[in-house]
Amino acid sequence: MQPVAFNPATDLAPTPFDAEICELARALKQAGLPWRPHVGCFAWDPDGQIKPASPFPANIYFILSLPRFIEIFGSPEAIQEKMIWLPTWHQARLLCQRYGIVPAPLTPSDSPAKELKMIYRLIRDAVAAR
């Protein structure tokens, strides 16, 4: 059975897969946001080290089988080092609770991507301030 790639024209994205989200996630990592790779996480492979093409755009992968990622990278620590975690909206909101962040209310015209980017920035600033 051939994998079916994500089609942004017809499929509803589980997270906003754009360059700005990826760069904000990199800033979260650089600020020191802890991450333990586990099933249920989206992660970006910015250097393209994973050879099987991702079904998602821009070298973004969903960790469905942690042993498969360990097989590719060698250890959970290597996954942490080489990949960049892309917290989902739910995970980002849990991080807000952890860091005592209360995001501003959204307006009806705000997109989910705009909200997630705002939350990533708030988390980045909170982590960097610690």
| Three-state secondary structure call for residue 111 | coil
Entry pTM: 0.91
Backbone dihedral angles phi then psi of residue 116, each to the nearest 5 degrees: -65, -40
| Three-state secondary structure call for residue 124 | helix
Rounded CA separation 126/114 (Å)? 19
Tell me, what's the pLDDT at 29? 98
Percent helix, strand and coil across the chain, each rounded to 5?
45, 5, 50
Contact residues for 126 (Cβ-Cβ < 8 A; gap 6+): 99, 100, 101
- 52: pLDDT confidence band, cut at 50, 70 and 90? confident
Rounded CA separation 93/69 (Å)? 26
Tell me, what's the pLDDT at 125? 97
Tell me, what's the pLDDT at 56? 87
Tell me, what's the pLDDT at 105? 86
Contact residues for 105 (Cβ-Cβ < 8 A; gap 6+): none
What is the average pLDDT value for the chain, to the nearest integer? Answer: 93
